[in-house]
Chain A
């Protein structure tokens, strides 16, 4: 009997456990296994194998029963998911259904999740802009949150490291507020995007419109071919999973790479209930999971644990990991766990029309989506009546348009002969929000989910700074668009709830002082040295860049540190 137990424990013991299989978890698994560690990766959802589990990837529009539309009943049953741009017939199977995964909205929050192997890395918008010191120094300069314990120089080599492997398309733009990376050829701007780029450069010093940098293989290197990936084919149907591996996802890249080492055990259908903490050893010893198929509760053990469950769920796991030493959640001596959650303000848009460059159009599809305006407000010093600033997307396009009035042969002829519209231009804002103590996630002890885990209560809202920023974005875009000669310029504020940006961050922030932060400069818990958090939960502030690239770099750097500490016997 004793032997049997020993054997069972041995089978459940690994060098490293990674909770979560998405953007950052995939990187943790890749790095650990490449360094020779036996690694267990836990994923709450089902497996999604590259190529094999992309059922819609090669379907034509006419092969979908509702030509892409989600049936009414399904929309009604999923009010949160239904607001997400990804929720169509072709990717519905990768979307979390509201009723199956309830949470408590103390204030409206659209929590968009991807519960499967690969997580949201399958579905992301693939934008990959680096941070600079203007971002890392934000909290210290402007006096909010706490100072980041790292600077650009700490992370720059790791940006390079992950960019080379993931494959990032971009141009070397030479901007100090958006550092260049290790780029594959960028996707070019079209004539109107280029026109606007030139116009802004000439008329607005310090403002730039560049080609958006994105995780697409515009021209694969050997390292990408070695992953079994091929050149991006400009389908722009990425949310279905790519049969070419043309964009970076954990499914196409890091997870198969880790599996190839023979060191990775991938365990889907495993909801983590808590991290097990040993008071005597002052260490986390493992995790307790529930198998969602068998409902069996199981334990797995490891020397080091990486929490990559996606920002909000990482908070949930830590909050629910209670022990005598940590009654308020693992490593939560400071009391900041679940607080200072922030996100990106995506509420405003601007659009217009342009009647120049009418002899040109585009052909094919641009996976980068067009142009990107790095933050230009308050970059070098405080200039406005709000803190920080916003980046903006910018794209120009012409559409095929049909006169659908009338009936009969004339209508039929019109449908067969659509006309090319003039140029339309559009932009959306990506605003930094200021992490506040009052923007929180916490446990609802009275409501539990199907797996016995308390439901999350989310209490997050916009503030006056966000409102001012929206107004400024609308004013600035209107001015730039109008001066550039665009016509019928319009702006809007969608008033969408936080969350729909899918850039929730924080709750388990980094910082120098254990009294006011959860993690040190290596993403290691101040209070529990064998637990690391390298996903969005670790963010001290949000800046404006799409955050995934930064999580990848954080993760690779943190694993490197963790393994070196293990070798030194410190972990």
Chain B
């Protein structure tokens, strides 16, 4: 129902807008909120953008959708918020800020403003560390909790793991790429590999 605004309300609204505007310069940047409700971790709009940029670098848009198109970064945030331990959550948030700073120092500009190539090069270095760490832990065996993960590596590992998970378990991927069959209706115990379709 439309209600004409009276003068008093209009003035109040104006005062609120001006008041808000007056407060703005006091902040370094507007503390925008994350676009989804989070219960445990605190992520602001800039941090969300950073997660999105990292996810998009991991799975970029090509002639098919990338991580951002599929909102995979929001899935990453939700998973970290709901399914990770407080320790992991802390490492995620700490590592996020550290990695954003590292990227800025190295690339000479914020991560999001770098080219895909630059961003890939930056992440590949961390990815290689992750690969090496995995190799080391395999050598040491499961008991060897020896290598303490630095926060940047922890953050990266979480974002990458959940990005791949979110992407390969997205509706797009499960209906257009590797089709998931809810009802196979068959069991063939002996199929020639040459006849295998890309279904999961």
Contact = CB atoms under 8 A, between A and B. Distances in A.
Contact of A415 (B57, B167, B196): B167
Interface stretch (A140-148, A187-195, A433-441, A445-453): A187-195
A272 to B, nearest CB: 37
Size range of the interface on B?
35 or more
Interface in B23-67: 57-60, 62, 64, 66
Contacts of A364: 184-188
Interface stretch (A55-63, A118-126, A482-490): A55-63
A525 B66 CA distance: 67
Contact of B83 (A66, A194, A361, A411): A66
A137 to B, nearest CB: 36
Nearest to B54: A407
Contacts of B187: 187-188, 234, 362-367
Interface string B124-137: 10010001000000
Interface in A335-390: 358-367
A62 B171 contact: yes
Contacts of A407: 57-58, 120, 123-124, 127, 160
B188 A67 contact: no
A362 B191 contact: yes
A416 B200 CA distance: 12
Interface in B79-106: 79, 82-85
B56 to A, nearest CB: 10
A235 B83 contact: no
Interface string B104-128: 0000000000001000100110010
A405 interface: yes
A361 B62 CA distance: 32
Interface string B144-155: 000000000000
A174 interface: no
Given A60-B182, A72-B85, A404-B164, A420 B59 contact: no
Contacts of A191: 189-190
A61 B174 contact: yes
Among A60, A70, A366, the one with the most B-chain Cβ atoms within 10 Å of its Cβ is: A60
Nearest to B167: A415
A237 to B, nearest CB: 8
Given A72-B85, A407-B120, A407-B124, A415 B191 contact: no
Contacts of A416: 64, 177-178
Contacts of A412: 59-60, 62, 64, 66
Interface in A231-286: 233-235, 237
A418 B186 contact: no
A91 to B, nearest CB: 16
B177 A58 contact: no
A205 interface: no
A233 B185 CA distance: 4
Interface in A396-454: 400, 404-409, 411-412, 415-416, 418, 420
A334 interface: no
B196 A361 contact: yes
A69 interface: yes
A246 to B, nearest CB: 10
Among A65, A67, A193, A405, the one with the most B-chain Cβ atoms within 10 Å of its Cβ is: A67
A61 B169 contact: yes
Contacts of A408: 57-58, 60, 116, 120
Nearest to A71: B82
Contact of A66 (B82, B116, B127): B82
A237 B66 CA distance: 30
A233 B83 contact: no
Contacts of A415: 59, 164, 167-168, 173, 177
Contact of A361 (B160, B174, B193, B200): B193
A379 to B, nearest CB: 28
A65 B116 CA distance: 30
A569 to B, nearest CB: 53
A62 B200 CA distance: 13
Nearest to A412: B59
Among A73, A367, A407, A415, the one with the most B-chain Cβ atoms within 10 Å of its Cβ is: A407
Contacts of B196: 361, 363, 420
A36 to B, nearest CB: 39
B188 A362 contact: yes
A69 B165 CA distance: 11
A233 B169 contact: no
B192 interface: yes
Contacts of A363: 184, 186-188, 191, 195-196
Contacts of A65: 78, 82
Contact of A418 (B57, B79, B85, B178): B178
A60 B171 contact: yes
Contacts of A62: 169-171, 174
B184 to A, nearest CB: 4
Contacts of A411: 58-59, 164
Given A60-B182, A191-B190, A366-B189, A66 B58 contact: no
A416 B64 CA distance: 11
A420 B178 CA distance: 13
A361 B123 contact: no
Contacts of B131: 405
A233 B191 CA distance: 18
A406 B124 contact: yes
A406 B184 contact: no
17 contacts: A60-B174, A61-B169, A66-B82, A71-B83, A73-B82, A233-B183, A235-B184, A237-B182, A360-B192, A362-B191, A363-B196, A364-B186, A407-B123, A408-B116, A409-B62, A411-B59, A412-B64
Interface of A: 58, 60-62, 65-67, 69-73, 187-191, 193-194, 233-235, 237, 358-367, 400, 404-409, 411-412, 415-416, 418, 420
